[in-house]
Amino acid sequence: MTLLKVAGLNKRFGGVIAAKGVTFELEAGDMLAIIGPNGAGKSTTFNMVGGQLRPDSGEVLLADKPVSGLAPRDVWRRGIGRTFQIAQTFVSMSVAENVQMALISWHGRILSFGARAQTLYRSEALDLLDLVGMRDDADRPVRELAYGDVKRVELAIALASAPKLLLMDEPTAGMAPKERSQLMDITATIARQRKIGVLFTEHDMDAVFAHADRILVLVRGEIIADGKPDEVRANARVKQVYLGDMGVAAAMRARRGRA
Ligand code: ADP
Ligand code: MG
């Protein structure tokens, strides 16, 4: 059974068409990247899948059951998780406690007022931290961590709800290239092991082409290409409207770097 089916999603903001007939599928265990220039409609598409935005028309099906129109929390309950930045209020808590809080929330446990999540789901939290390579840092406050390590904790938190599908909208924004490919490596390994489908966006084309099983190219709300990395790389329209632009952008960045 196909994990995710997105069929004919349309979304308009006033005069802007942010999504036009967006249609694609994602299999369990696969990494699917959505790329496209700024304003192409990537976040709009993510938010329609995650329930943050209601499409004007079209449908989102998770394991053949419709989830479009449900509230974000209900979409999450059905098995669509996403990475969120750790809230400022939680940075004083330890790494493990942050993951324990996510597990408590997922399992619907209510803590007595003022209690801390010291023991509940501790071993499950440590297992998730092991998965993302952060177990040794379990008892450090999050505020002490390097940025790339915080991102790995955010991934462990997203995994606490055992999602079938994980949405990652620019997960590596602001990260150094090495940390970036590390995070994508870990994500790809976990996706394959646990048969989680991952839908992600990413500005770094090297990271996209290295980690995606399939790539969708979105331009002005429309999918202009959908295929394996090699197919997308060779697609004439993609080269023309998108990778061409990116080539120019990369060249300008490189020039600024040298100046
Ligand atoms: P991307 O994530 O690919 O950069 P977005 O999905 O954020 O693109 O935006 C697609 C288009 O829709 C852009 O033109 C953007 O300005 C517009 N847009 C996105 N969200 C809103 C909104 N809430 N209100 C009005 N316009 C929006
Ligand atoms: Mg965006």
pLDDT, tens only, 36-71: 989 999 999 999 999 999 999 999 999 999 999 899
User: Ligand 2 center to residue 82 CA distance, Å?
Assistant: 14
Mean of pLDDT over the chain: 89
pLDDT tier at 240 (50, 70, 90 boundaries)? confident
**Closest Cα to atom 24, ligand 1: which residue?**
13
Please tell me the predicted confidence (pLDDT) of residue 35. 94
Least confidently predicted of 60-64, 86-90, 166-170, 233-237: 86-90
Cα–chain-centroid distance for residue 150?
15
**Closest Cα to atom 13, ligand 1: which residue?**
39
Distance (Å, whole) CA 120 – CA 112: 12
Query: Could you tell me if the CB of 47 is within 6 A of ligand 1?
Result: no
On the question of pLDDT at 259 being above 50, the answer is no
**Closest Cα to atom 26, ligand 1: which residue?**
13
Mean per-residue pLDDT, 137-148: 95
User: Ligand 2 center to residue 6 CA distance, Å?
Assistant: 18
Please tell me the predicted confidence (pLDDT) of residue 257. 54
User: Ligand 1 center to residue 56 CA distance, Å?
Assistant: 14
Please tell me the predicted confidence (pLDDT) of residue 62. 98
On the question of pLDDT at 252 being above 60, the answer is no
pLDDT, tens only, 201-219: 988 888 899 999 999 999 9
Q: Which residues surround ligand 2, an ion (CB under 5 A)?
A: 42-43
Backbone angles phi, psi at 78, to 5 degrees: -75, -15
DSSP H or E stretch at residue 65: strand 65-66
User: Ligand 1 center to residue 24 CA distance, Å?
Assistant: 20
Please tell me the predicted confidence (pLDDT) of residue 203. 84
> Which residue type does 224 have?
I
Angstrom CA distances, 126 to 58, 82, 136, 193, 200, stand at: 40, 20, 9, 18, 25
pLDDT tier at 120 (50, 70, 90 boundaries)? confident
